[in-house]
Amino acid sequence: MERVVITGAVRTPIGKYIGGLRDIPGYELGVLVLNQAVKKAGIEPEQVDEVIMGQSYQNGESVNIARVSLLAAGWPVDIPGLTIDRRCCSGLDAICLGAMKIMSGQADIVVAGGIETMSRTEFYIPGEFVKWGMGGVRDPKWGLMPRGHGALPMWGLPFFDRIQRARVMSQPVERFGELNSMMSWAETAATTEGITREAADQWACLSHQKALKAIDAGKFTEEIVPVVVPQRKGPPLVIDTDEPPRRNTDMEGLSRLRPVYENGICTAGNSSTENDGAGVVVLLSESKAETLGVDPLACLAGFSVAASDPTLTYPAVPKSVDKALGNAGLDIDEMDLIEIQEAFAAQVLADAKLMGLSGADLENKVNVNGSGISLGHPIAATGTMRMVSLLYEMKRRNARYGLETICGGGGHGIAAVVERR
């Protein structure tokens, strides 16, 4: 079976919620990373067999964002595009799915990644409340609206924020009850695994410190594609740096924040943020890379997805790690760098405990340049973005093995092991 190598890894800067990237449609972020990725890889778009993207908050303005992005990028119309949703796991899962296409002989080159513009996520009215009485008319602007379709300039109906509603509906309420946020299972993790508020705040503070240190050292420069944002007046705004990290973050400020839940430990300060951004990598079969003379950043040594009770979720992370390491024939102690996506500090520390990581591992190997609490968490893009940063850090350190793992709504965990030769 063909080994899969990774190259052309790029990402946009991460935008704050309703921040600098809010006016940029998701597919335009896709255009930027797609074109830069193939350029970095030294290949032409027409050599790509397929584009696979994760997006958890798809909307009616850019359906199947993988296909829309590649078309907007001017790529050949005969390149297929596929969009997937495994919540927070999506960006990494797109990479794994692309790898499986290559491993099974269905493709030689796949561009895979994730896009999320949470600032532009829709508000919506559930169809069952409006469709039955709508349509069957010809609108002077929009033309014929078949029954069950149309526009509804009305109020007094359920009007949901897709972001918040998705958290509630990531599992059937009839079976598991209503989770009004992912934070509810992070609190369970804290209680079950003995994670204290102080430990969570310390991790959050360190996350910001590491992210800002990396930014100031220019570590992310090579991997970031700047985004040019037109302005109504004056020259365009060029965003080339991650927006979320806060320079004034300290333990005193974090300790003053009230927990979201009574008697809980999770606060806005030790939890990830909602963000915008995109990232992709180019995947090739090893033989194709050799034929084209492509210099890989790393190869995929193993990957796996696991699941658990969606009211807990966090145990799915160590389960996925064990499976991915088993596929790679490696042990956790052999990992030189580890990315554990920071949905919540409590979740990271609980997962690290279940993974058997030591204090030294947490200090020297895990999230060395920050993660979701500091850099942000553009849901379906995060898995790819963390992989991009991991690959470049491995290159800087001449590290051999890297591990990335993420938890996802609905009780999922995903992990991938990469190897540099």
pLDDT in tens, 187-230: 999 999 999 999 999 999 999 999 999 999 999 999 999 999 99
Per-residue model confidence (pLDDT) at position 169: 87
Per-residue model confidence (pLDDT) at position 130: 64
CA distance 301 to 401: 9
> For the ranges 35-49, 177-191, 226-240, 259-273, which has the lowest average pLDDT?
177-191
Q: Looking at residues 30-59, what average pLDDT do you find? A: 97
> For the ranges 56-60, 291-295, 363-367, which has the lowest average pLDDT?
56-60
Per-residue model confidence (pLDDT) at position 141: 57
CA distances (Å), origin 123, targets 58, 101, 163, 322: 12, 35, 9, 39
Per-residue model confidence (pLDDT) at position 242: 98
Decide if pLDDT at 147 tops 70.
no
Confidence of residue 149 (pLDDT cuts 50, 70, 90): low
Return the structure tokens found at 67. 């296909």
Decide if pLDDT at 143 tops 70.
no
Per-residue model confidence (pLDDT) at position 1: 82
**Positions marked catalytic:** 88, 377, 407
Decide if pLDDT at 145 tops 90.
no
Decide if pLDDT at 99 tops 60.
yes
Higher pLDDT, 316 or 181: 316
User: Model-level pTM?
Assistant: 0.95
Per-residue model confidence (pLDDT) at position 129: 63
Per-residue model confidence (pLDDT) at position 378: 98
Decide if pLDDT at 421 tops 80.
yes
Confidence of residue 123 (pLDDT cuts 50, 70, 90): confident
Per-residue model confidence (pLDDT) at position 279: 99
Per-residue model confidence (pLDDT) at position 345: 98
pLDDT in tens, 283-325: 999 999 999 999 999 999 999 999 999 999 999 999 999 999 9
SS (H, E, C) the chain: CCCEEEEEEEECCCEECCCCCCCCCHHHHHHHHHHHHHHHHCCCHHHCCEEEEECCCCCCCCCCHHHHHHHHCCCCCCCCEEEECECECHHHHHHHHHHHHHHCCCCCEEEEEEEEEHHHCCEECCHHHCHHHCCCEEECCCEEECCCCCCCCCCCCCCEEHHHHHHHCCCCHHHHCCCCCCHHHHHHHHHHHCCCHHHHHHHHHHHHHHHHHHHHCCCCCCCECCEEECCCCCCCEEECCCCCCCCCCCHHHHHHCCCCCCCCCCCCCCECCEEEEEEEEEEEEHHHHHHHCCCCCEEEEEEEEEECCCCCCCCHHHHHHHHHHHHHCCCHHHCCEEEECCCEHHHHHHHHHHCCCCHHHHHHCECCCCCCCCCCECHHHHHHHHHHHHHHHHHHHCCCEEEEEEEECCCEEEEEEEECC
Per-residue model confidence (pLDDT) at position 349: 98
Per-residue model confidence (pLDDT) at position 294: 96
Q: Looking at residues 384-389, what average pLDDT do you find? A: 98
> For the ranges 34-43, 157-166, 176-185, which has the lowest average pLDDT?
157-166
What whole-number percentage of the chain has pLDDT above 90?
85
